Amino acid sequence: MRQSARFSAALATAVLAACSSSTTPTVVPPAVCDVATAVTLGVGQYQIFDAVNQTSCVKLPGATSATEYLVVEYAGAGQVTNLGITTPYGFIGGTAAASASAGISASDIPVSRLFASSSADQFHMMLRRREHDISLSPALRFDTPPTPAPVPVFGDHDSLWVCSTLGCNSFTKIGATVRYVGSTAVVYADDRVVPGSESLTQPDYDQLGTLFDNYLYPADTTNFGVASDINGDGHIAILLTPAVNDLTPDCSAGRVVGYFFSNDLLSSANSSNRREIFYAFTTKAATATCTVVTRARAMTSLPPTLIHELQHMISFNQHALLRVGRDQDTWINEGLSHFAEELGYRSVPDAQCPNSPSCFSQFMSGDIYNAYQYLENPESTFLVWPDTSTGGLPERGAAWLFLRWVADHFSSDTLLGTHFTRALEQSTTVGSQRIEGFTGMDFPTLVGEWEMANYLENLPGFPQDGRLRYRSFNFRSTYANNYPTNFSKPYPLTPDSTTGIYQRNGTLRGGSGRHVRFQVPAGSSGVLVRLAASTAGGGLLNPAAMPRLAVVRIK
């Protein structure tokens, strides 16, 4: 798990939204681009248009009183590719949309920005790619398990391999001692003493182990399924070692806090520890490029790291080991691990989070921050990550938000989402295809509803009675309660807004898009909006990107 170096402040608790039924989108008949398709919507109603096969030109009618619409141009593609599915686009809106030459104009954000990420992000994506390779290799999938091992005993000494580089292509063997043995967890501490550092105490090891046994392990296994037990000891090892601290020599853009490596589940692999094991950082003095890790900081950071990495372990077992199939798409795998952090907030009593103001603050701060990073500029970030992605914070925020929204509206148990998360993990089908099978809806439509919900979520005056919102959080209140202390805006998503002509050239990335508000004055003949390959009208939209126009009337 990567921890942001820019955000560690406590968050005020979220406000839960009320629950109610969903709304079905209006069916739109086919149309052609040279004839604008008129929409007639009441407040709260919406339509989604296929910009390739239905229409890319839509007319928002005027009325005797002022009206307002939100339009989202987006790519609904759910397929994972090496570089990601994109399409250039030009979006024009106004009373003269076909020839707009003035008004609001904005340029694209380069795709290269997506791939500028920290070494910690790259480390975790390297681990996910290794899992992918293992899941596709029959020689590794049918690995012979070792002889069952005895359950470790408190005070036992062992020698364990740990990654010594961010590429995990070399390893160091360290000595470690068992400091806790519970019903599921075995906590090891590195035997090395780091000069100038605080030390974790025996009550600290007991607190971590007990929390894992009583809350974190039950929450994850309930929501995602069982973990493997390749060495037959019925336990999961947790190694706290400064070797993890040392993986990030420069922490200015974040640091590695902990990780799971599927190599340890292969008895024949080089440097495999032949057991279920997590690795996590520990206390360490400050360096020139990394801040100090105190006892308090370690004890705050480790619980969300453990529940996050346990989901990865479970996911690998459910897909690659139990079902002998390919692993989960990375964007969903990471999104579910962030969902697991949310489960920590919902499952652990505040009394069990003594090092934080609340369990919400301890487990949810990272997810709320990542979501803010995405919502500030959805167009610049993929929801469906490319294979070459490094899994930056905005991408993680997008993945968690989308899975959270799907659970809100399609899981039989909205808050915990167990019905949904187990369906994703306990299947031979993965990715957006599995989400379509679970929801019974096509992925591009789901993306459109979600993108509208990202702005309309608890928007004052907008009906909160359908799928264009979240049911588990009131994000507007959450961000407003933490503004300006932790966030620069009371709500991150601020659509472009116009009463005149609007035009933008940009790039739509799989699962994401651009939000624009059109305010139609009273007595106006209406507004035309057009989505094409450019504002000049030349070129073709990439049909593989599944470009769509989502239109909803706000007032």
Residue 95: per-residue pLDDT: 67
SS3 446: helix
What pairs with residue 66 in β-bridges? none
- C-alpha 305/C-alpha 341 separation (Å) is 8
Q: Please count the other Cβ atoms lying within 10 Å of the Cβ belonging to residue 182.
A: 18
Instruction: Return the half-sphere exposure (C-beta side, CA atoms, 13 A cut-off) of residue 504.
Output: 24
Cα–Cα distance measured from residue 538 to residue 313, given in angstroms and rounded to the nearest whole number: 48
Query: What pLDDT is stored for residue 104 in this prediction?
Result: 43
In tens, the pLDDT along 108-155 reads 433 333 333 478 888 999 999 988 888 888 666 556 666 789 999 999
By the 10 Å C-beta count (0-12 exposed, 13-18 middle, 19+ buried), 31 is classed as middle
DSSP 8-state symbol, 442 = -
Taking residues 311-322, report their average pLDDT.
96
Q: What is the largest CA-CA distance in the chain?
A: 81
CA 33 – CA 49 distance, rounded (Å): 12
Of residues 199, 227, 253, the one with CA closest to residue 306: 227
pLDDT of residue 16: 44
Amino acid at residue number 178:
V
The tokens of 391 are what? 């899994």
Looking at every residue in the chain, the average pLDDT score rounds to 89
Answer whether 153's CB lies under 8 Å from 177's CB: no
- The answer on pLDDT for 448 being more than 80 is yes
Which run of H or E residues covers position 177?
strand 171-181
Closest CA to 328 of 423, 395, 458: 423
Q: Distance between CA 516 and CA 68 in Å, rounded? A: 11
Q: What is the pLDDT of residues 225-267, one digit of tens each?
A: 999 999 999 999 999 999 999 999 899 888 999 999 999 998 8
Per-residue confidence band for 296, with pLDDT thresholds at 50, 70 and 90: very high
- DSSP run (H or E) holding 551: strand 547-553
Query: Above 90 in pLDDT, residue 45?
Result: yes
Residue 288 Cα to chain centre, angstroms: 31
The two tokens of residue 17 are: 């939204």
Take residue 65 and report the two structure tokens written for it.
């009183």
10 Å Cβ neighbour count for 70? Answer: 23
pLDDT at site 110: 36
pLDDT for position 140: 61
What is the number of alpha carbons within 13 Å of residue 269 lying toward its C-beta?
24
Structure token digits, residue 51: 């910009």
- pLDDT surpassing 70 at residue 34: no
Round to whole Å and give the CA distance between 547 and 245. 43
* Number of Cβ atoms within 10 Å of the Cβ of 305: 26
Dump pLDDT digits (tens) for 155-207: 999 999 999 999 999 999 999 999 999 999 999 999 998 889 999 999 999 99
**Residue 217 in this model has a pLDDT that exceeds 80:** yes
Look at phi and psi of residue 383 and say left if phi exceeds 0, alpha if psi is from -120 to 50, else beta.
Answer: alpha
φ, ψ dihedrals at 472, nearest 5°? -95, -20
What is the model's pLDDT at position 253?
A: 84
220: number of Cβ within 10 Å: 29
Q: Strand 171-181: give its sheet, edge to edge.
A: 157-163, 171-181, 185-190, 236-240, 277-280, 258-260
Asked if pLDDT for residue 444 goes beyond 80, the answer is: yes
Give pLDDT, residue 269. 85
Q: Which of these ranges, 1-15, 346-360, 437-451, has the smallest mean pLDDT?
A: 1-15
* Residue 238 backbone dihedrals phi, psi, to 5 degrees: -125, 110
Contact residues for 260 (Cβ-Cβ < 8 A; gap 6+): 127, 277, 278, 279, 309, 310, 312, 313, 316
Q: What percent of the chain has pLDDT over 90?
A: 78
What are the Cα distances from residue 531, in Å, to 35, 217, 540?
13, 48, 10
Residue 506 has pLDDT above 70, yes or no: yes
pLDDT digits (tens, 9 = 90+) for 56-99: 999 999 889 999 999 999 999 999 999 999 999 999 998 643 33
CA distance 368 to 361: 10
From CA 65, how far away is CA 52, in angstroms rounded?
33
**Beta bridge partner(s), residue 548:** 50, 74
pLDDT, position 13: 55
Closest CA to 15 of 530, 502, 473, 367: 473
Angle between helix 330-347 and helix 418-425 axes, rounded to 10 deg: 150
CB 433, CB 495: distance < 8 Å: no
404-433 pLDDT, tens digit each? 999 999 999 989 999 999 999 999 999 999
The pLDDT value recorded for residue 120 is 87
Q: Tens of pLDDT along 48-60?
A: 999 999 999 999 9
pLDDT band at 10 (very low <50, low <70, confident <90, very high): low
Cβ contacts of 144 within 8 Å, gap of 6 or more: 267, 268
The predicted pLDDT at position 96 comes to 42
pTM (predicted TM-score)? 0.91
pLDDT score recorded for residue 29: 30
For residue 141, the model assigns a pLDDT of 57
